[in-house]
Homo-oligomer: A and B are copies of this chain.
Amino acid sequence: MMTVEEDERIRNNLDTDDDIYDEDGNVRSDFLTLVVSALTERNVPFLQHNVARLHESEIGDLLESLQPEQRLSLVRLLGDDFDMTALTQVDEAIRRQIVDQMPNDQIAAAIGELDSDDAVYILEDLDQVDRDEILSQLPFTERVRLRRALDYPESSAGRRMQTEFVAVPPFWTVGQTIDYMRDEEDLPESFSQLFVIDPTFKLLGGVDLDRILRAKRHEKIETIMRETSHPIPAEMDQEEAAQLFEQYDLLSAAVVDDNDRLVGVLTIDDVVDVIHEEADEDIKRLGGVGDEELSDNVTSTVRSRFVWLFINLLTAILSSSIISVFDGSIEKMIALAVLMPIVASMGGNAGTQTMTVTVRALATGDLDIHNAWRVINKETCVGFLNGILFAIIMGAIATFWFHDSQLGIVIGAAMIINMVAAALGGILLPLALDRMGADPAIASSAFVTTVTDCTGYFAFLGIATWWFAIH
């Protein structure tokens, strides 16, 4: 048990130093140790004083640094002082683990305090039964709002929007509007624009707050509002919505239903999360790890990676079967077995380079029908030129290594062919997948290396077989 003085000292110590991170951006080890021992000793005052006061994202990072059981005990010990928004800042696996262990009425009480977008974020992971039980314990308006947001498809703008917003009629003056905001208690926690609506909630326009502050009190809202040129349909995919935000540098945007009625507001901080998720997804798909997260357990990780590895096994067997066609040539000349992986590997890497650029350019919209031919052309040239360079280099190396200049010529020719094949595969396969409506990030790398492996083995062993047969 800590003495009161010790505890006091630590408290003061932590108070003066506000930052829970070390210089590498990790949670400070000494802070973590203190939290862990407070958990073991069930020292609730310490936790209330030093953890509950943290920013939601700091609590999130702290949760990620703790062991699973410690996370639960932190949430239990803090009770009502635990800030549920912290759960929006952690991996899905950790969120599920914690929420599954919390009693539904505690979740309901906590959810009632959250902004609707955070509430939806937590509710959407729960199974139907728990979700319904929690919703039934919420006040009517709250429940209707959340249900409506949850009715929109997963990953849609409607799921990410906040249903709290400030809306005023067009005939109000600036003065009236400011007075309303001064007196109204029930405003969203923070907002950067007002919306202008008609009596049926139809969206007429928006006014940024700086515009209000610069206008005279007697000016009418309708004279200073601007048409919202980019209202976001609630059904729109969040990725598309994020692209609109980026393109037009929006801070917040109105979300409207099928009848153009204002149902919520999407804010840039949610969009930043979406941008992150989407980049993450692209990186992971290119690396063949689907939607896996760091905190997933061993079983689910094995399962999710197995599929990708199994596809790779099939493609590897396919390229090996090409090798087996030429087993006679290899038997006569073992050097072919030694050199063939080099041709395949160079093609694989060159193909991955082209594919990475293509997939990324497709995702950001930089590559489209207007410049596709130009890019295909460029990539083929690049592949051909690098093919020639590496044909010369590798040809020379093979000649010296095996004292056989003919082998050098053969590997050089195969290198050029495979580098051009790599360029074409690297750009055409993602383009084709994209055209077919598939995500080019997800399957491209398996397909591209299949092309380069098969072409590499076939070109090298085939040319060798033919060349040494006629010479």
Contact = CB atoms under 8 A, between A and B. Distances in A.
A144 interface: no
A182 B359 CA distance: 49
Q: Name the residue among A268, A330, A350 with the largest chain B CB count within 10 angstroms.
A: A268
A224 to B, nearest CB: 12
A57 B248 contact: yes
A210 interface: yes
A17 interface: no
Contact of A308 (B32, B282, B349, B360): B349
Contacts of A241: none
Contact of A294 (B181, B324, B357): B357
Q: Name the residue among A340, A357, A367, A381 with the largest chain B CB count within 10 angstroms.
A: A357
Interface string A336-364: 01111110111001101101110111001
Given A192-B251, A341-B316, A344-B341, A286 B289 contact: no
A298 B213 contact: no
A320 B361 CA distance: 34
Contact of A360 (B210, B283, B345): B283
Contacts of A339: 320
Contacts of A212: 213
A453 B361 CA distance: 30
Interface residues of A, number: 117
A25 interface: yes
A468 to B, nearest CB: 16
Contacts of A355: 287
Contacts of A57: 247-249
A350 B286 CA distance: 13
Interface string A365-381: 11111110001001001
Given A312-B349, A324-B338, A251 B248 contact: no
A323 B309 contact: no
Given A268-B268, A334-B330, A341-B323, A213 B178 contact: yes
Interface in A280-320: 280, 282-284, 286-289, 292, 294, 297-298, 301-302, 305-306, 308-310, 312-313, 316-317, 319-320
A240 to B, nearest CB: 8
A391 B335 CA distance: 28
B382 A309 contact: no
Contacts of A43: none
Give the number of copies in the complex: 2
B453 A341 contact: yes
A94 to B, nearest CB: 10
A55 interface: yes
Contacts of A309: 346, 349-350, 353, 386, 390
Interface in A21-59: 24-27, 29, 32, 55, 57-58
Contacts of A198: none
A276 interface: yes
Contacts of A24: 368-369
A350 B306 CA distance: 9
A245 to B, nearest CB: 7
Given A313-B342, A342-B316, A27 B275 contact: no
Contacts of A361: 294
B280 A360 contact: yes
A216 interface: yes
A14 interface: no
24 contacts: A18-B229, A25-B368, A61-B365, A190-B210, A209-B213, A268-B272, A272-B272, A280-B360, A284-B356, A284-B360, A298-B378, A298-B385, A302-B385, A305-B386, A309-B386, A312-B346, A316-B342, A316-B346, A317-B397, A319-B341, A323-B338, A323-B341, A327-B334, A331-B331
Contacts of A397: 317
A221 to B, nearest CB: 13
Given A213-B213, A276-B246, A309-B390, A382 B298 contact: yes
A367 B310 CA distance: 28
A127 B397 CA distance: 41
